[in-house]
Amino acid sequence: MSLRIFDFSDGFTSSTNPANEGVTAARFETFANDAAYVADKGSAAADGDAYYNTTDDKVRVYANGSWVEVASFEP
């Protein structure tokens, strides 16, 4: 398995301070969209909530009142 580098919108990259292991999408819960995540959670999204969007191949995080993309995967 090859490791990928995440580039985050705040300038942090996973290569700056790498994790002990590779970061994979399997470490995130997977949902088709934001609404499916919230429905499964059973309550409103809160800052720091994160999941892997299987429709768009993106990691999304809820921050400051909205969902934002923090990483995407391209073959």
How far is C-alpha 62 from the chain's CA centre? 9
pTM of the predicted protein model:
0.63
What is residue 16's predicted lDDT score, i.e. its pLDDT? 46
> Nearest CA to 36 among 64, 55, 12?
55
Q: pLDDT tens track of the chain, all 75 residues?
A: 444 555 555 555 555 444 455 555 456 788 999 999 999 999 999 988 888 899 998 889 898 999 998 877 766
- Nearest-angstrom CA–CA distance, 27 and 31: 13
List the strands of the sheet with 30-31, edge to edge: 30-31, 50-53, 58-63, 66-72
Domain boundaries, the chain: 25-72
